[in-house]
Structure 1
Amino acid sequence: MNTLLKKCLAAAVMFGSLLSISALTPAGAAPNDDLKGKNVVLVHGAFADGSSWEKVIPLLEAKGLHVVTVQNPLSSLDADVAATRRVIDQQNGPVILVGHSWGGAVITQAGNDDKVKSLVYVAAFAPQKDQSINDILKGKPTPSWASALQKDSGGYLTLSTDAVIHDFAQDLPVAQARLVAATQGSWFAGCTDDKVTQAAWQNKPSWFVVTGKDRMIPPALQDAMAQQIGATVVKVDASHVAMLSKPTEVAAAIIEAARATK
């Protein structure tokens, strides 16, 4: 076989290999982000537990992120911050700290840890220094769901199933909303008076997922808090539980924060 023929055959084999590779890669597909070495710590809010992040976790892990959820005792700001700090301590490398709802107050305090490089608020409270949830809500109309709160003998609050279906998770299928109601964590009523002593967003970049159909924390209030802390705002047309009804959009905001984290 002469040299020219050998070169032609080699070129044909190489061309065929390239065609095989391209057939496996969707046209215009972006290279996979490799965010290995970065950690996402997810903090749930009131009337929830760590499983509220179940749809977001695989989307983050697909990008190479290491993801851990905190199981908050929901007994006080100090207790929830302590639980969150224990999880942060276990991480190797930079942490993106994410909080939903009441979890926003928790990450505002716990986020002062040196490992935490950025904060993501998801339909969350973002208190200032020396501010409580009740301070934020002072003078604002009482929401309709407040009358559906049930308090036990220990002073812990739960939401009625009806309130979860119609106000907390109204954009979920009813069967899934019932599951959210059945697995909710009881939240100590005194948590609303606990004040943040040092606000991490003052020194760290923040993102804020504002939920446009939220009946728990009004979207206008979320917007105001996001502006106050100078957060990058991502708007999602969702109920209070956007991480369950719009997990792709919520994950995208967290991934954006992770990409920006050094």
Structure 2
Amino acid sequence: MKNIIHLKKGLIVLIAALLTANITSAQQSIPVKNIILVHGAFVDGSGWKPVYDILIKKGYHVSVVEQPLTSFTGDVDAVKRVIAMQTGPCILVAHSYGGAIITEAGNDPKVAGLVYIAAHAPDAGESEADNGKLYPSAYKSLQKPADGFDYIDPAKFYQDFAADLPKEQAEFEAQSQMPTVDSVFHAVIKNPAWKVKPSWYMVAKSDRIINPDLERLYAKRAKSQTVEIDGASHSVYESHPQEVAQLIEAAAK
């Protein structure tokens, strides 16, 4: 009798697993129409406007997160609130520090895939600050005032952060920076979504903020579908909107 009960329980578990697998497979075969864009440190969501315009014209529903940059938990929660607003599955897209945010927020069941644009994608137990020490970057313009909110030296913002943007645009961004609390760069990832969700990665080959070799490491271990952009600065999400939009579309399809 006990053997029969165990057999029945085993069959129930097997059937449930098969149903779940079939549902997941079906979800992955349906194109995703909801795109969520997440900015990085020192900037706001307005830099996504060129990519937003391209995707909107192609019929996607695009949301842009404006996370406060005052705590890692608060930034993850800001993304989760936007995910909750979606009426179906979504693709999370992030630039720079935003990659660490979607690495945690991407575990939400509504998230179908992750797109990293010159972004951090730490593993469990890692922080982007520690990873940056292993792969030092070229810039020396980070300022760390006593109040704990970091920013990029405006005089060096163009050369370090946005060298492939029009200089006037980069200078405006330098003067409209969002200071970012230093602690977010030391936030330790607990449950990286890229281990269970498909991912795509864009490497900016002339990035001075994140070492391109660190970007390649992130992409390789996440088994991301990867593209590399020649001459691209850290602001690749703004300077190469067509290529970024194409990568997002590849994820959505």
TM-score (norm 2): 0.84
- The match for 2:37 among 42, 64, 67 is 42
> How far does residue 258 in structure 1 lie from its aligned partner after superposition?
0.6
Distance (whole Å) between structure 2 residues aligned to residue 37 and residue 212 of structure 1 = 29
> Residue 99 of structure 1: SS of its match in structure 2?
strand
> How far does residue 99 in structure 1 lie from its aligned partner after superposition?
0.7
Which residue in 1 is equivalent to 2:56? 61
CA distances 1:134-189 after superposition (whole Å, capped 9, x unpaired): 22123444x4533x222344210111122211010001111010111122211111
Which residue in 2 is equivalent to 1:99? 94
Q: How many residues align?
A: 223
Matched letter for residue 152 of structure 2: L
> How far does residue 36 in structure 1 lie from its aligned partner after superposition?
8.4
Could you tell me whether the CA contact under 8 Å between 2:132 and 2:210 is conserved in 1? no
Distance (whole Å) between structure 1 residues aligned to residue 132 and residue 202 of structure 2 = 19
Which residue in 2 is equivalent to 1:258? 252
- The match for 1:80 among 69, 72, 75 is 75
> Residue 221 of structure 1: SS of its match in structure 2?
helix
Q: In the TM superposition, what are the counterparts of 1:1-262 in structure 2 within 5 Å?
A: 38-141=33-136, 143-146=137-140, 148-237=141-230, 238-259=232-253
Do the aligned partners of residues 174 and 95 (structure 1) sit closer, same or farther apart at CA in structure 2, a change above 3 Å counting?
same
Distance (whole Å) between structure 2 residues aligned to residue 202 and residue 133 of structure 1 = 17
Distance (whole Å) between structure 2 residues aligned to residue 36 and residue 111 of structure 1 = 18
> Residue 92 of structure 2: SS of its match in structure 1?
strand
CA distances 1:84-104 after superposition (whole Å, capped 9, x unpaired): 000100011111000100000
Cα RMSD of the aligned pairs, angstroms, is 1.5
Structure 2: tracts of 5 or more residues without a match:
1-29
Distance (whole Å) between structure 1 residues aligned to residue 180 and residue 163 of structure 2 = 21
Do the aligned partners of residues 208 and 139 (structure 1) sit closer, same or farther apart at CA in structure 2, a change above 3 Å counting?
closer
Decide which structure has the larger Cα Rg and report it.
1
> Residue 163 of structure 2: SS of its match in structure 1?
coil
Q: Percent identity?
A: 44
Matched letter for residue 232 of structure 1: Q
Could you tell me whether the CA contact under 8 Å between 2:95 and 2:117 is conserved in 1? yes
CA distances 1:46-89 after superposition (whole Å, capped 9, x unpaired): 11100010110011111111001100111221110000000100
Q: In terms of mean alpha carbon deviation, does 59-68 or 132-141 score higher?
A: 132-141
Structure 1: tracts of 5 or more residues without a match:
1-34
> Residue 55 of structure 1: SS of its match in structure 2?
helix
